[in-house]
Amino acid sequence: MKKMIPILMLSTLAACSSNSAPTSSPKKPTTNGPKNIIMVVGDGMGPAYTTAYRLFKDDPTTIAIEPTVFDDILVGRASTAPARVSGYVTDSAAAGTALATGHKSYNGAIGVDVNKAPLQSVLEYAKSLGKSTGLVVTSQINHATPASYVAHVEHRNQYDLIADQYFDQRINGEHVVDVMLGGGWDYFIRKDRDLTQEFQQDGYQYINDYAQLGSIKQDKVLGLFADSGLPWALDDKQPQRLRKMTIAAVDALDNNEQGFFMLVEGSQIDWAGHANDIASAMAEMDDLAHTLTWLKDYVASHPDTLVIVTADHSTGGFTIAANGEYMWQPDVLKNLKKSAQHISKRQVKRGFSIEKINKMLGFTLTEQETNTLRAAHKEGKKALYSALKHVIDGRTNTGWTTGGHTGVDVPVFAFGQNSDVFRGQQDNTDIAKNIFKLLGK
């Protein structure tokens, strides 16, 4: 049975909301800070990922290694440890809570402190000022990072309760988030409650296909495009889905004279790290990079906008080069037609075909590699997926140390108005604290 948040805690939250977010009229900002703030999280995107992406995008016919959008906007780095009770290595919930509220908490905590008391997020505070708010993610929209900016529950796995709070909680009489785009049908359309219907009854436009992103007519939108998380970028019919959703969200939010606060998350960089799947990781990085490139253009024409980019932690212990060899060969990754996971599912379903595997991988397997995959195919899709990743790791000379998180510092990027505030070494809680200050708190 799912552990429910205590009634006393909900009462505390209501009191907290009434103190920090008045129900009569929005607070007036007391700052010359940016009108719009866009917080971007590359989930799991430790420093090896941005370096690897530079090499992945490099033109090998030139002498120089060309910089990427990440290189252009790097300003510092952040430590990521959770509250002492959870040691030195954070999960996405504690890290998301730190980035959203400026407070350390235990692993698993969503918008609550170590005593499980609610914490106000920067998104909630922005909403109390009359700004519009948005969430754009490639996971389900009630996953750990986005939930940390909106919900207040004891544990990240309380997905249904988090989804309920997205509808039930109010600031100034309005729902906390105006635009929500990502996955999550399983949690919003349930036997006990259909939140998509409830949001529509409250004036939200509901969409469930990427094709509808171009026909958003309202400034309050719920868009869900998958049961849970979206497909891998390598497999999605819209490989730049984060960029496409971000553009649509900004268009909807940009009509408020008070400005907006938006969270954007490249969620599945982390999932690729957990899976030790370098091909999927680089495709997810590419989607995020295209999103940032668009945001740079947006800020160029909207100089009163601030964009902050960081990771919540690093995932997988990813290393560029392995087995003592001073070599990494990312060109192997550029010709993949589908993810290794997709290839494994298809092969198990339709029968083993080395010709089709070669075509989807974009290179010809050796006899030894073929024999390895043939043997794995007999054990099922999980074994074949693992074997395919092992082949790709061998071809690229990619290394991994874990299927979990690591405790390394993560890069911080920023551009736009007041971006210099985020320069240098900082803690992840400092990011939220500085956003609060820029909002006038």
As annotated, the active-site residues are: 92
Q: What amino acid is encoded at 154 in this protein?
A: E
CA–CA distance, 160 with 267 (Å, rounded to integer): 19
Report d(CA 167, CA 128) in Å as an integer.
16
CB 156 within 8 A of CB 139: no
**Rounded Cα–Cα distance for residues 102 and 434 (Å):** 9
Token pair listed for 251: 């268009």
How far is the CA of 377 from the CAs of 164, 351, 353, 371, 389, in angstroms? 42, 9, 10, 10, 13
Determine the Cα–Cα distance for residues 228 and 155; give it in Å rounded to an integer.
18
Please tell me what DSSP assigns to residue 416. Answer: E
Looking at the DSSP bridge assignments, the partners of residue 183 are: 140
Answer whether 291's CB lies under 8 Å from 266's CB. Answer: yes
Q: Residue 11 corresponds to which tokens in the numbers above? A: 């009462």
In the block, tokens 């999980």 appear at 382
Give the strand pairing for 405-406 and 314-315.
Answer: antiparallel
Closest by alpha carbon to 146, among 70, 193, 95, 216? 95
**Distance, CA of 204 to CA of 199 (rounded, Å):** 5
